[in-house]
A = this chain, B = another copy of it.
Amino acid sequence: MEEKITYARAKEILQNQKISPKGLERVFLYESLGRVLAKDIFASEDMPEVALSNMDGYALSSTMIELSKGIFTILGENPAGNEKKVELPLTQPYAIKTLTGAAIPHNADILVPFENVNIKGETLEINAFPKIGEFIRNIGDNYKKGEKLLSQGVRLNANHIGLLASLNHIFVEVFEKPKVGILVSGNEILEIGESKNNPHCFYNANGHLLYAKVKENGGMPKLYPILKDEKFSIQSCLKDALEECDLVISTGGASVGDYDFIQAISKEWSEKIVFRGVRIKPGQHIIYAHFHKKQFFGLPGFPNSTLVTFELFVKAILTKLCGMPFKEEIVEVTLQEDLQKGDKRLEFRVCNIRHTRGKISIDFEGKKSFQSAILNNFCPLDNARVGLAILEGNKLKGERIPIILLNC
């Protein structure tokens, strides 16, 4: 077990974990939204399979231009989806009306858009000839048969759904969602809906926060009963969760208090604890372990710390369990105000992220300073995105500071 390690070391440990996603599952196209693709997708045909018009226009042959003196005879029309094969005779300057998406007639190599012609009865006066092939989509221009179009590990969004539909993929192979057990412990925790008779009690924010976080990040959450600070029941529930789930997250009980039984249990299973304690603020008491060959995180109980440690550490493992590469989006911004650090630990401070005139900036509007317990710092009143400013030391207005972009 490594103890009180640096943030960089903790990240390195998590990045080096070799974790395989779960098995495959076939789901209907619509249910694949937000799921992680389990197989590369290759084109089964050239696209397009025949040369197509990319504009509404008239198809003709470049070999007739000189002869034509700009006047062509219109020979019928050729709409998109036309089932007949259309051939342009080369006996005279003929043009075939060829609409967007229609196949270019055999023998034609020029498409003159509507904008460039005057129509007089059956004849066409052409003001300007496009180049050969202009406005024509050739066989395989979009992609060629056998070309890789989507990669395993992509989390499918609406754009992918459109592409998969265009490929006639009705069922999609995705990775099964990892099951994530959520354990909340603490004598002071009430489930929502319970009546509160005691001002020292708090509603279960962490359980529901983590439930929603796991869902957002592609896992399948399971909430276990709220546990009192009582060793036997915590131990037995944790064992159940480790049997049933791929990843177990507990909150509370990971700091140094006497009532923190999860830590005691961790000690009993000590050969499997990977690290305990990271020199950061908030969240220094985080535990990461392999228990019963499963992934385990003991997160601090303050919702703000729970959230920060979820973002910094749990996400790295959950993402791998989902079959995706883990990437953090970090941007450097120029500070608009001085920032004082509270102590010597590396600090992650919640900020609002603004996009103004092409620049990203941050501010701390509405943020309360008593960070550890405050979830509302993560919920700006104005729909702003939030990020975590990484504070290595005090920073002055005008200095640059790295920000981890969150919820995007």
- A positions within 8 Å CB-CB of B: 29-30, 33, 48-50, 52, 54, 56, 77, 79-83, 97, 99-103, 114, 137, 141-143, 148-151, 153-155, 157-170, 186-189, 192-193, 196, 198-209, 211-213, 215-216, 229, 255-259, 301, 303, 307, 324-325, 327-332, 355, 358-360, 368, 370, 372-376, 378-379, 381-383, 386, 400, 402, 405, 407-408
Contacts and interface: CB of A to CB of B under 8 A. Distances in A.
Contacts of A374: 142
Given A150-B381, A216-B33, A331-B355, A257 B159 contact: no
Given A256-B114, A372-B54, A155 B198 contact: no
B381 A168 contact: no
Contacts of A169: 192
A7 to B, nearest CB: 16
Given A161-B211, A165-B204, 4 more contacts: A151-B382, A163-B379, A168-B193, A169-B192
Contacts of A164: 208
A373 B54 contact: yes
A118 to B, nearest CB: 15
A201 B328 CA distance: 41
A235 to B, nearest CB: 19
Contacts of A33: 212, 215-216
A201 B209 CA distance: 47
A162 B192 contact: no
A246 to B, nearest CB: 19
Nearest to A204: B165
Contacts of A186: 80-81, 101
Given A142-B376, A200-B102, A402-B358, A79 B229 contact: yes
Given A168-B203, A203-B166, A158 B216 contact: yes
26 contacts: A80-B200, A80-B229, A81-B186, A83-B200, A97-B258, A99-B257, A99-B259, A101-B186, A103-B200, A142-B373, A150-B379, A150-B381, A155-B383, A158-B209, A158-B215, A159-B209, A159-B375, A160-B379, A161-B208, A162-B378, A163-B379, A166-B203, A166-B205, A167-B203, A324-B383, A331-B355
Contacts of A207: 165
